[in-house]
A and B are shown apart, each in its own frame.
Chain A
Amino acid sequence: MRDKMYSSELLQRAIEALASLPGIGQRTAYRLALHLLNQPPSYTEEIASALLNFRQKIHRCLHCHHISDEEVCAICRDPQRDSGTICVVESIRDVFSIESTGSYRGHYHVLGGVISPINDVGPEDLYIEDLIKRVEGQEVREVILALSATIEGDTTMQYLARLLRPHVERVSFISRGVAFGGELEYADEWTIAQAIRFRRPIEDFALTPRAEDEE
């Protein structure tokens, strides 16, 4: 039925490709394709080459796994930044969120997710080993755990805290300015800035009293 609608297989394929993107439906894809058609071919070539370049040449930073144009990302290369502090986050989007607050001058470590056995994600599926190697190999005073305030985020923070404590002077987690059940990505900048500023040592972890605290 669609073949009849467009009477061009080339147009059809362009629409299907565009419509496979999140947030773009058939109608929008159709409009975008016609728009490209109305512009000179160089316009489409520029878009296509920008996307191809982006996708093929973008790296994951060797140290922190943030996206980077080179082997090591701009944040890890910046001599002005404090390499003695590492902020651990779930995804690159969280790096952007924290960076946009301008309130943090240390390094990052992108885990690539949180531990969730229901979704078949275990510690071995995340960049946890790399993180441990980093804190063993370089002088790190503090690791800040900045994961989402969810069951899965909390579990991952607890797990990491145990692994990190022998190697790092101070392991902290971001303050709970972020509502429970809230993803870091969706929180406003002020909330994130407050949460970074008022981080607390992991011993105070609000949700998780330990056996010795009770006695």
Chain B
Amino acid sequence: MRIKDLHIRFYKNLKDIRWPLAEGIHYITGPNGIGKTNLLDSLYFLATGKSYFTPKSLYDVIHYDSDFMRIQWQSYFEAQWVPFVIKLTRGQSLSIERYGKPFERRVDYVGMHPVVLIAPDDIYNFKHSASERRRWIDAALSMMDVEYLTKLRQHNRLLRQRNALLRRAEHASEEVYRLLDAYDMQLWPLVRYLYQQRQRYLHALIPHIQSYYRRISSQAERVEVHYQSEVAVDDYLLNMSQRREEDLRFQRTSYGIHRDDIYCTIDSRPMKGHASQGQWKSFILAFKMAQYRYMAHSVGHLPLLLIDDIFAKLDRNRVHALFEILLSDSFGQVFITDTDKERMRELLKDFGASNLEGYDMTMGALTPVAL
């Protein structure tokens, strides 16, 4: 999969950007606040219909001076270029069109443009938030598998209904129990499916994570990830019914895969408390690269890779290791942002590969950098 002829109108602070796009790696530098992150975010939005950085408030992606935003581009599918447009007007729902014809359901669009984004806050977020860790798995699986996305949405809707019932019920009654039965029965097959998919996915990531970790850190430590869940799938209904009184008391569902987590170890010890800052950085990078590799294999074409301003957080050795990976393994279009123009010049000189292009971003324009 490849995209070209990108035209962005009023996406966050990007008023009007036209960018033909090349194959390979795009290295973008420019001062803070010019919109480099928003540029990557617009590519993430193009792929998922959601912002990576402000996923909860849809209209925040529209420029404050405008009533609408639009992203237009062409994608290469099945040996031809296909025009796409994404439009969002304040107060209206998102519209995604192919050949000028809107997609009727979001699930028909999701997954056409697989994407992996790496951002500086990822390290902190992954370390400190279990819901963030679950989001990394759910977002990736949803992109690769419409069935997962559909079932995850059904599961979340059922859970919200169940929790609303728990808040609404003043006391336990036959009626409340009968309704809880109805919710739990519907949740069960979904929980079983989502649990198995998450576990299988995380397990499949391990060899990729280990291989990338070694290459990025050049250390011999062994990292591992485990899917952690208190759910026993076969006894799900039993456990749910045993916790009902507690659930009614605390007015929320205390048992289920919405509380699952990823448990990471380094040399068989928990990373939390044992891994250094540097080890965490290598690990997070390796995790995202592993997600990329798995996704590429699973969907059968190369996803977009978006790397936002992380070089400032890495030492020279890790930056070089990452670059070697990007240039030696097969990647599709890659977009890297950086504030340090000198570092870009140095890297372009050191690696000078043919599919590596530098760009200078100023307000409203991207100019190719000649060496």
For B154, B158, B160, B179, which residue has the most chain A Cβ atoms within 10 angstroms? B179
Determine the chain A residues whose CB is within 8 A of the CB of B316 once the complex forms: none
Q: What is the minimal beta-carbon distance from A188 to any residue of chain B, in angstroms?
A: 15
Closest to B187 in A: A208
- How many angstroms between the C-alpha atoms of A120 and B158 in the bound complex? 15
Interface of A, secondary structure class, is helix
- How many angstroms between the C-alpha atoms of A154 and B182 in the bound complex? 8
Using A208-B189, A209-B188 as known contacts, say yes or no to A155 and B178 having CB atoms under 8 A apart: no
- How many angstroms between the C-alpha atoms of A159 and B228 in the bound complex? 33
- How many angstroms between the C-alpha atoms of A52 and B157 in the bound complex? 41
Total residues of chain A contacting the partner, CB 8 A: 23
For A124, A155, A156, which residue has the most chain B Cβ atoms within 10 angstroms? A155
Q: What is the minimal beta-carbon distance from B151 to any residue of chain A, in angstroms?
A: 11
Closest to A116 in B: B161
**Contact between B185 and A151, CB atoms less than 8 A apart:** no
**Contact between B161 and A117, CB atoms less than 8 A apart:** yes
Q: What is the minimal beta-carbon distance from A214 to any residue of chain B, in angstroms?
A: 8
Determine the chain A residues whose CB is within 8 A of the CB of B189 once the complex forms: 207-209
**A159 touches which one: B154, B158, B162, B178 (CB < 8 A)?**
B178
**Contact between B168 and A122, CB atoms less than 8 A apart:** yes
Total residues of chain B contacting the partner, CB 8 A: 22
A163 an interface residue at 8 Å Cβ cutoff? yes
Q: What is the minimal beta-carbon distance from B166 to any residue of chain A, in angstroms?
A: 8
**B186 touches which one: A116, A122, A124, A207 (CB < 8 A)?**
A207
**Contact between A155 and B168, CB atoms less than 8 A apart:** no
**Contact between B237 and A155, CB atoms less than 8 A apart:** no
**Contact between B237 and A211, CB atoms less than 8 A apart:** yes
B165 an interface residue at 8 Å Cβ cutoff? yes
A210 an interface residue at 8 Å Cβ cutoff? yes
Determine the chain B residues whose CB is within 8 A of the CB of A155 once the complex forms: 158, 161, 179, 182-183, 186
Determine the chain B residues whose CB is within 8 A of the CB of A151 once the complex forms: 154, 157-158, 161, 186
- How many angstroms between the C-alpha atoms of A156 and B185 in the bound complex? 12
Closest to B155 in A: A151
Q: What is the minimal beta-carbon distance from B50 to any residue of chain A, in angstroms?
A: 19
**Contact between B161 and A159, CB atoms less than 8 A apart:** no
- Provide the A176-205 mask, 1 if CB < 8 A to any CB of B, else 0: 000010000000000000000000000000
- Provide the A150-166 mask, 1 if CB < 8 A to any CB of B, else 0: 01101110110011000
- Contacts A155-B161, A159-B178, A210-B185 aside, 4 further interface pairs with beta carbons under 8 A come to A117-B161, A122-B165, A122-B175, A123-B175
Interface residues of A (CB under 8 A from B): 115-118, 120, 122-124, 151-152, 154-156, 158-159, 162-163, 180, 207-211
